[in-house]
Amino acid sequence: MPELPEVEQVRKTLIPHVVGHKIIRTEVFLDRLVQYPAVPDFIQGTVGKTIRAINRRGKYLRLELGDGFYILGHLRMTGALIALPASAPQPPYAKLKFTLDGDENLWFTDIRTFGTLYLLQDGGSYKVNGYETLGPEPLSKEFTVAYLEPLAHKSRKPIKTFILDQTVIAGLGNIYADESLALSRIMPTRVANTLSREELKVLHEAINKVIAQGIANHGTTFRNYQDGDGKKGDNQNHLLVYSRKGQPCRFCGTTLVQIKVGGRGTVYCPKCQK
């Protein structure tokens, strides 16, 4: 599933292609992609609107249409928003097409078809389950050790489950949770309220570092992720533990182990992480 760095890369790469362009036609090829309003109303509400900006909150993309209207999208597991030349053929797994007034069109493709789109007005985000309860993002001024410490000390969840909670930290997913815990040398199964302030400080710094690295490396691609230009990320070549089960730890050489934490595949170093 695309996480904060991947969605941020999509946002940045789409801007030069679609911002300032008017939606001339909207075609929906999979009705359940559009969660709100009904598909005919979604089409009517987007046609004629100009994409004025693209913002991001956690793993959500927000296409600003002016007059308080915006399209809120979540890529989920395999969704992608791609800008292609108007002359290009329909891409594989296309589920929606915005025909724009320029030389390019905007497509939503999705192999597993879990992606979602909403057409909303200011004040309407309550219609999107979980959006209004998102916690602060890594790298933001709100995401501090002082914010994290009291929440962790009240939690009896494994620390990995705790940091994956989107109400605690918005945008962090399985890849960057494993990477943060590896970098901070913390065992993923440690109960959150057993971490000291110093350990939480190290974890906080690690979360910011791996998210910044993911953004700098244009996201992580293992299978399906691609940015708005249709390009893959490079961060998979810089990971410490994620998807490296059975390989040597980059710090000590110990064989990395995979377990389940909260139902999520989790790779860690049994020597480095305590």
**pLDDT, tens digit, 9 for 90 and up, residues 132-162:** 999 999 999 999 999 999 999 999 999 999 9
Q: For the segment 167-177, what is each residue's pLDDT rounded down to a tens digit?
A: 999 999 999 99
Cα Dmax for the chain: 59
Based on the fold, state whether residues 264 and 168 are members of the same structural domain. yes
Query: Domain end: 76, 99, 127, which one?
Result: 127
Based on the fold, state whether residues 120 and 154 are members of the same structural domain. no
Q: Are 12 and 214 in contact (CB under 8 A)?
A: no
Query: Domain end: 101, 127, 153, which one?
Result: 127
Mean pLDDT by 10 residues, the chain (274 residues): 95 98 98 98 98 98 98 97 98 98 97 98 96 98 98 98 98 98 98 98 98 98 93 96 98 98 97 98
Mean pLDDT across the chain: 97
Based on the fold, state whether residues 103 and 169 are members of the same structural domain. no
Catalytic residues: 2-3, 59, 264
Nearest by Cα to 87 from 108, 107, 109, 104: 104
Range of the domain at 152: 145-268
Based on the fold, state whether residues 113 and 151 are members of the same structural domain. no
Based on the fold, state whether residues 193 and 161 are members of the same structural domain. yes
For residue 53, tell me if it sits in a domain: yes
Q: What is the pTM of this model?
A: 0.96
Looking up residue 177, the CATH number of its domain turns out to be: 1.10.8.50
pLDDT at residue 1 in the model = 77
Based on the fold, state whether residues 8 and 123 are members of the same structural domain. yes
Based on the fold, state whether residues 87 and 45 are members of the same structural domain. yes
Domain count for the chain, please give it: 2
